[in-house]
Structures are given as C-alpha cells and as structure tokens.
Amino acid sequence: MSSAKMQNSLHLILAAAAAALIAIPPSPSAADTRNLPPVDFQEPDQPGKPIPGEEQLARSLRRTVVFFRSTYPKGTVFIVTQDKYLYLYLGDNRAYRYGIAVGREGFQWTADLSVTKKVQWPSWRPPKEMIAREAQKGHNLPEVMEGGPENPLGARALYLGYTEYRIHGTNQPKSIGHAASSGCIRMLNEHVIDLYDRVPVGTRVIVS
C-alpha cells in the first residue's frame, strides 16, 4: 500500500474514532450528582394545597404520598387495619396514604376482594344483626336511611365483593384513626370522594 493510501486510511480511522467519542454522553461527575434534588416521598402531590376538610384530622391521617414497595399493579388498594391506613398504589414504589377507621375488636377481617359497585350519597340498610344488637342497647335503627349528610355511610361508598363491607365516608370524622366501625372501612368524606374519583369498578382491594 502506498504512503498516500495509508495516510487516507489513518485519517478515516481517526475521524470514526472522534465521531464515536462525540456520540458517547459523558458520565456525570460527583459534583453533578450532589446537585440533584433529594427524593422525598413524604411530599404531597400538590404542596400547599391540602384537601379541604383535612384540618379535621391529625396531620398523620391526612392524604400524602409515601414510599410503598409493591409487586402489584398500579391502582391496587391496600388496607392495613392494624396501622389504620388505606394505600392507593401509584406505581414506582409510591402510594397515596389515607387515614381510616376500621372495625372494632370482634369486627375485623382480612380478604382479597374487588370493588363491585360505586355509589354517591348511598342509602344505608343496617344488617338485621346490627338492628337487633342496637335494639338491645335501646337504639332503634331504621330499616333504610336515605343518603345525605346525616347518613352514616357519608358521601361515597365503594362496595367490596358481594359482602356487606364497604369503603365509605362518615359523618363522624373524629373516628378516623380508630377501631370504631362494625367492619366497614371509614374515610373522611373529602378523602372518600378523592378515592372514589380515582378508583374504578373492578379495582383489587387487599385487606390485611
């Protein structure tokens, strides 16, 4: 090979090497990494804009985004009765966390169910066992109470499977954070409206 051809080949090789170097993005330096903002899953999704009505609850019971590791699909609802929290999984190890009221002693349960129905301002039909139990205490419950602000089921209800259990609002916000119900999961009315708007029929609900 002539010296001219060798020089041309060398130029081509050098040009290709330079192009390859340009195409490779530089790795971040330690200084660049230090300047990245910290990841904090305790921040609400809208800082400074709490849900109206949340001031009725302790800060730990208000809706917030938290770290939540799960292999379940995005949109799954988890209810942890011992901790009195409901989690709506958002994916990427994050979830909305809401404070709830759960069943008092003797009325707690676990299950893997799904949302079968959603109702706005639901009417309430107390189970016969509850009517009889309350009658022994001198409380006469109606067979049906139409929906409204005085209704114990509150503003929204999500029915779980084909059971008598529901996730619903409450006209007793001070019960949130306590074991206070006859088995249903209570939420602040403003919280259950927020959940209702995010959760479709068919959503999986895991109660533990």
Which residues participate in catalysis according to the annotation?
A: 168, 184
Compute CA 157 distance to the chain's CA centroid, rounded to the nearest angstrom: 16
Report which of 72, 101, 103 is spatially closest to residue 88, judged by C-alpha positions.
72
**If you ran DSSP here, which 8-state letter would residue 151 be given?**
S
Q: Which residues contact 102 (CB under 8 A, 6 or more apart)?
A: 79, 81, 84, 108, 179, 180, 181, 185, 186
Q: Which residues contact 38 (CB under 8 A, 6 or more apart)?
A: none
